[in-house]
Chain A
Amino acid sequence: MKINEPFLQWLREAGGAAVLGQLRISGKPGEWIIRHCDDGDEVVPDPHWRVAREWVKVAADGTYRPLKGEGNLAPGRALGPLDDRELLEALNVIYPTTVANGVLFRSGALRITPFAETAGRQTGMYRIVGTITPEQLDEVVAGVCERRCLKQRLWEPRAKVPELEGTAWPLLCPEACNLMVAACRAKIKGQPLTATED
């Protein structure tokens, strides 16, 4: 399935003034610039897309960012000029699967996985997540997804209906991530939601 070209077409049509999460993308094909929404144009862009991995790794306060959709991407960095392929590589690092999720959603092909299915699939240390109560799930959704993550959750409870108009590309969440599943385990075990184990 073609994922990249529909996104690039949308970007070209956005006139080089697109917003994606905490990023704004300006420029034109072959000369794309990725900046933080909080930054002006004075930040000198780095031409190497792989620098994006360093950018997303730690927040401004130096803490590790295992949740890429968290709204704590540090300002002060920019990438570019990037060609189409480099732009897509960089976006797949900063907001993984966000380009694909948006393209699939627009074409009606994005599969949304109910939480019960995600929980029921777990094995090993996460098997216990299948026993979560609706009240516990509600608290984890509020404390992790709604409090920390910028993504629009497409699964219940309190699923969002994404806006597809304008020059903002949606950050969509079609299925609970492992970080959220791990928080459910912590909740069931009476631990803080941030209690994580690898």
Chain B
Amino acid sequence: MIRDHRNDALVLAGHGSTLNADSSLPTYRHGDAIRDRGIFAEVHEAFWKEEPHFRDVLRQVESERIYVVPNFISEGYFTEQVIPRELGLTGKVSRLDGREVIYCDPVGIHPSMTGVLLERAASVTGEAAPDPAATALFIVGHGTSLNQNSVKIIYEQVELIGQTGRYAECQAAFMEQEPLVSKWAELTKQPNVIVVPFFIADGLHSYEDIPVLLGITENVREHGFRNPTERGGRKLWYATAIGTEPMIADVILALVDRADENQRTVSSMAA
């Protein structure tokens, strides 16, 4: 870390769910990983749909400098409107009741996500890793006009992964817009396919819907699916949501560093 945070607090802001008991799990796991490193005086998790809510969490924070990192996949409605409004933020750095609250970028947009995606792709195939020169990697998002920022970020990551040359192909695919993930078999001719969902948690979309759209199960809760699944003589591996990757804890810390760097730049420009 570029700054000493032993007197500071970290607040991870996730979406949470009133329906899915495991939606908040990745946020807690990343929080615990950072707690265990002893970098911050306090680590708190807060949610839109679970308690503590964004609106309330700062009351239980004692530190005078607080970093808020949205555990969201992209900038959008929640990171730009809901979280700042509920926390009462006035900008990237806010003074609230004598405390400094530093609002960091969301997890999904940090450049180190490229490495996280590659790690997730490598770990899902494990020791049975296929020949990368005969493998297509798909990064899958939700799509639709709800949040075009997440679509943009997926295309950016696809471009960056393509530049690494790690796999024969890297493509974007979506649940509800072209190119559709359900058409994966037409989108690539590679004999091996790895699919990584660009979602924060294994909720309805990544855990239940995408495996059905891929055709690797009829109902994941009843039948599960195999990794790899063979389809038309080709092998397909489906990973869990990128947000469950343990490396996300490092991404969160990198976002805190980035916020500190930005602040330093602003103060040196002011001087």
Contacts and interface: CB of A to CB of B under 8 A. Distances in A.
B77 A66 contact: no
B120 interface: no
Interface of B: 15, 17-21, 23, 28, 32, 44, 48-53, 55-57, 59-60, 62, 77, 81-82, 85, 97, 203
B18 A97 contact: no
A177 B47 CA distance: 11
Given A3-B59, A96-B56, A198 B51 contact: no
Contacts of A99: 60
Contacts of B19: 64, 66, 196, 198
Contacts of B77: 124
Closest 7 CB pairs of A and B: A96-B52, A100-B60, A66-B18, A96-B51, A100-B59, A64-B21, A97-B56
Given A53-B28, A198-B18, A178 B59 contact: no
Nearest to A99: B60
Contact of B81 (A1, A123, A177): A123
Nearest to A88: B60
B60 A50 contact: no
Nearest to B60: A100
Contact of A198 (B20, B32, B44, B59): B20
B51 A68 contact: yes
A102 B204 CA distance: 37
Contacts of B44: 92
A178 B62 CA distance: 24
A8 interface: no
Given A50-B32, A124-B77, A1 B49 contact: no
B40 to A, nearest CB: 13
A66 B56 contact: no
Nearest to B59: A100
B53 A3 contact: no
A100 B48 CA distance: 19
A86 B252 CA distance: 23
Given A50-B32, A97-B60, A121-B85, A57 B21 contact: yes
Contacts of A37: none
Interface string A56-90: 01100000101111000000000000000000000
A146 interface: no
B49 A66 contact: yes
Contact of B60 (A68, A96, A177): A96
A198 to B, nearest CB: 5
A104 interface: yes
Contacts of A68: 50-51
Given A96-B60, A177-B51, 5 more contacts: A66-B18, A66-B49, A92-B52, A101-B59, A198-B49
Contacts of A97: 51-52, 56-57, 59-60
A33 interface: no
Contacts of A4: 62
9 contacts: A2-B62, A3-B59, A58-B21, A66-B49, A92-B52, A101-B59, A178-B48, A178-B53, A198-B17
B131 to A, nearest CB: 40
A88 to B, nearest CB: 9
A161 B15 CA distance: 32
Interface in A89-115: 92, 96-97, 99-101, 104, 110
Q: Give the one of A2, A3, A96, A101 with max B CB within 10 A.
A: A96
A96 B44 CA distance: 10
Nearest to B99: A1
B18 A3 contact: no
Interface in A134-187: 175, 177-179, 182
A92 to B, nearest CB: 6
A182 B62 contact: no
Contacts of B15: 198
A106 to B, nearest CB: 13
Contact of B62 (A1, A58, A179): A1
